[in-house]
Structure 1
C-alpha cells in the first residue's frame, strides 16, 4: 500500500476546528418565482383560444412567465406580431385589476379584477346587415 504524503495526512489529523461556511460564502437572496397563470385562469384563456381557432380568427399562441407578469400572446400567423396580449400583473391587482387585454398597438382594450369579465371583450357583437 502506498502511503499518503505528509501534507495531506497532517491536515486531516490536525483539523479539530469547526468552521461555519456561511461566513465565507456570499449570501444570495433566492430569485423570486415568475408570475404564472393559475390552472383555472389558464383553462378560461384556453377555452376562449379554442373557440377563436374554431372560428378561424386565431392560429397560434405564446405563453411567457416573467418576474413581474404573465402574458398569453395570440397570433394570426406565427411569424407576425401578436394580435392580442392577455396579461396578468399582480402589482396592479389592488388598483385597476390584475388582468388586461392589449391589442397589437399597445392600447389596453379592457382591464379588471375578474378574468372572465375582461375576456368578454372578445365576445362577438351583432352587426346590422342591410339588404
Structure 2
C-alpha cells in the first residue's frame, strides 16, 4: 500500500505567477528572431509559484544564456520583469516590452 504525504498542509498561497498569452507572444517573438539568426536553439518555461521563468539556451544540454523572470512587485500590486544573463541582471521593468529591449542591443552572453 502506498502512503501519500502532503508537505504543504498550511494555507495555499494565492500567489501563482504565470505568463499570459500576450507576454508569451512577446517572448516567443524575440526568441524566434534570434533562432532565425542561428543564435538561440531552445527555450524552457518554468512556473515556480512565486515566479515564472522563460529560459533561453544555445544548446538544450547547457545552462541558459538568458532568463526572463516574471515576479509580483511590491505587495503584489504589479508584475515585474527582469532579464538575467547568468547571475547578472541586465534589465528590469514593470513592462515586458521594455524589459526585452535589452535584446535590441548586441548581447554577448557571459557563459558563452
Measured in 1, the distance between the counterparts of 2:15 and 2:51 equals 11
Greater relative contact order (CA < 8 Å, ≥ 6 in sequence):
2
Q: Higher Cα Rg: structure 1 or 2? A: 1
Write the mapping of 1:85-124 to structure 2, written as runs, cut at 5 A: 85-92=67-74, 98-104=80-86, 106-124=87-105
Q: How many residues align?
A: 97
1:89 is paired with a residue whose SS is strand
Q: Root-mean-square deviation (CA), in Å?
A: 2.2
After TM superposition, the score normalised by the length of structure 2 is 0.77
Aligned residue among 39, 53, 56 for 1:74: 56
Q: Does 1:35 align with 2:17?
A: yes
1:74 is paired with a residue whose SS is strand
Residue 109 of structure 2 corresponds to none
Any idea what the Cα deviations from partners look like across 1:3-48, whole Å, max 9, x if unmatched? xxxxxxxxxxxxxxxxxxxxxxxx8634546310011111000010
CA contact (8 A) 2:15 2:50 kept: no
CA contact (8 A) 2:52 2:70 kept: yes
Residue 28 of structure 2 corresponds to 46
CA contact (8 A) 1:34 1:67 kept: yes
After TM superposition, the score normalised by the length of structure 1 is 0.66
CA contact (8 A) 1:32 1:67 kept: no
Measured in 2, the distance between the counterparts of 1:120 and 1:103 equals 14
Name the structure where helix makes up a greater proportion of residues: 1
Measured in 2, the distance between the counterparts of 1:48 and 1:111 equals 16
Residue 39 of structure 2 corresponds to 57
